[in-house]
Structure 1
Amino acid sequence: MGTVEEKKTRNTKHQQAVLDLLQRAKKTLTADEIKEQIEANINKTTVYRMLDRFIDAGKIHFVTGQNGKSYYALCKDCKEEPVQHIHNHLHFQCENCGNVECLPETLDVPRLKDYKIKETQLLLIGICKTCVTKNT
């Protein structure tokens, strides 16, 4: 049985593996995809805990797809503190291939008096450019 120090180090390696995977990813990933693609032997609950910590720290964001699954991506251009970390860019989910991607287009998120906005979910659903090209 390992000491607290060993567990902490092992957990840090797992966290770095998840962050490295998201850094290399060309698209958003589900928790299942993350678990399958990292070389560490960890369970899905641990993956979800790490993802929740990364969201709270402002390192990653997620969007809920049409199928109810969460899709995660690394925050690349975020400069706000995590407390005010609102993602105002659009996401697109393809009805054909199922991929969810972050789009560069942004929307102005209104400041609502007497409301505290914690997150935004901006999802467009349709056919992606890859699938449109394949079908023409």
Structure 2
Amino acid sequence: MKTTESKKTRNTKHQKAVLDLLKNAEKALTADEIREQLEDHINKTTVYRMLDRFVEAGKIHFVTGQNGKSFYALCKTCNEEPPQHIHNHLHFQCEVCGNVECLPNTVKVPQLPGYNIRETQLLIIGTCKRCISSTN
């Protein structure tokens, strides 16, 4: 039987691996893509739990793509802790290759009297630069 200490160490190792993967990713990744790229194969439920904890902690954010899947990316310029941790930058999903990427452009999120904004989902759908240039 494994001790609590070994379980804690293993989880920390996996958490670090997921964060490192997102840190080095050139695009936002789905939970399936994250799981496939990890050396140690972690079950899908564990990956989703880790991602949920990272989102709650403000370490990563996600956007729901055109297909209903969540795409996760590391928070690179975020300073605020939740619950004021609102992402107001744009995301772009390519209809050709399916990649989702964070764009540097930001949108001013309005203050709505009587509403508490917890999250924004800003997704633009079209054709990315790589796919446009490969068809020309």
TM-score (norm 1): 0.98
Q: Within 5 Å, give how 1:70-85 maps onto structure 2.
A: 70-85=70-85
Task: Indicate the residue corresponding to 2:19 in structure 1.
Answer: 19
1:36 aligned counterpart, secondary structure: helix
Provide the rounded CA distance (Å) in 2 between the counterparts of 1:80 and 1:33: 27
Q: For residue 39 of structure 2, what is the amino acid of its counterpart? A: E
How much identity, in percent, do the aligned residues show?
74
Given the alignment of the two structures, is residue 88 of structure 1 paired with residue 91 of structure 2, yes or no? no
Q: Matches of 2:38 and 2:120 in 1, distance apart? A: 28
1:129 aligns with: 129
CA distance in 1, matches of 2:20, 2:10: 15
The 5-angstrom pairing of residues 1-136 of structure 1 reads: 1-136=1-136
CA distance in 1, matches of 2:24, 2:128: 21
**Aligned AA (2:71):** Y
Say what the alpha-carbon RMSD is for the aligned residues.
0.6
- Deviating above 2 A after TM superposition, structure 1's stretches of 4 or more consecutive aligned residues are none
Q: How big is the shift at 1:121?
A: 0.3
User: Which deviations, in whole Å up to 9, do the C-alpha atoms of 1:35-68 show, x marking residues without a partner?
Assistant: 0001122100000000000000000000000000
Q: How far apart, CA to CA, are the structure 1 residues paired with 2:112 and 2:48?
A: 31
Q: Give the Cα separation in 2 of the matches to 1:75 and 1:40.
A: 24
SS in 2 for 1:51: helix
Counterpart CA distance in 2 for 1:5 and 1:41 is: 20
TM-score by length of 2: 0.98
